[in-house]
Amino acid sequence: MGLNGAGRVDRNWAGGLGGLKVYMWITVLFFALLGYFVSTAEAQPSGQPGENDRANPPSQISHPPESTSPCCLADCECEVQSSTSWLAKIGQAVWRPIRQIGIDYTQNRIWPEPYSAMDRATIGPAYFRMVANGWQQQTLLGDPHFAAGQDRLSEAGKAKVQWIACAVPPERRVIFIHSPDPGIGGKRQEAVRRYLESLQLQGPPPPIVLTLVTPRWASGTELGLVHQKFQESTPNPRLPPYQPYQVQSP
């Protein structure tokens, strides 16, 4: 019996259970290692057929129905039977769940990687696109920058072209011209080119690009009104009066 007269577990019976557990774990480990080695051997790419392979053709060859020659090996398909024994199959069945447990443990341990890296990779292009669009608006010329005939720059246009050619960072130094019509765009482009030649810049002039992007700006009166309202709504630069902290009793 497992219990003696005093209600305690027999040591021999407990020791037998412990030995049985050890044998079970040794068996599982043996089959797991066997499945690992079999899986590794099957995953290795097979080399080029050698002289021995040509000398010993496969014993089972299936001939296509349209083939007239029974010895035409070029048109035949070899039926290679798997030589995996039942012992190796048991090892594979034991090794696959153990390998999956390791994969799941690794994925849970390194989470949120690699998903956070993919999220960070998607943020960069959108951010760079927004920065490029902002610089395009800053270096964009529209109707207020040209005279009525569209063949020469206005005073505001001259000032902006000079700012773009001299003050804008070199990697952002591109002059965009709003061109809703090809004829108007050609006149505006020629007016900007002539003014750039008159500036006598040191180095190549910035490129001129026609675009259909609509400028986002307002009149000077509207911008001045917005600035005035902002100044009027600014609070006084004074700290509030000191008030001692009152502890509220429950």
* Model confidence pLDDT, tens digit, residues 60-104: 444 455 545 444 444 444 444 444 577 677 777 777 888 888 888
Q: Are 195 and 161 in contact (CB under 8 A)?
A: yes
Q: Are 157 and 148 in contact (CB under 8 A)?
A: no
Give the model's pLDDT for residue 81: 43
Q: Are 45 and 30 in contact (CB under 8 A)?
A: no
Token reading at 248: 């509220």
The stretch 188-215 carries a mean pLDDT of 92
For the stretch 116-174, pLDDT in tens is 888 888 888 999 999 999 999 999 999 889 988 778 899 999 999 999 999 999 999 99
Confidence band, pLDDT 50/70/90 cuts, at residue 41: low
Token reading at 245: 């902290």
* Percentage above 70 pLDDT, the chain: 67
Is residue 172 left, alpha or beta, with left meaning phi > 0 and alpha meaning psi from -120 to 50?
Answer: alpha
Closest alpha carbon to 192 in 178, 202, 180: 178
Token reading at 62: 């299936």
The stretch 37-48 carries a mean pLDDT of 56
Give the model's pLDDT for residue 118: 87
| Three-state secondary structure call for residue 9 | strand
Confidence band, pLDDT 50/70/90 cuts, at residue 175: very high
Average pLDDT, the chain: 76
Query: Higher model confidence: residue 62 or residue 34?
Result: 34
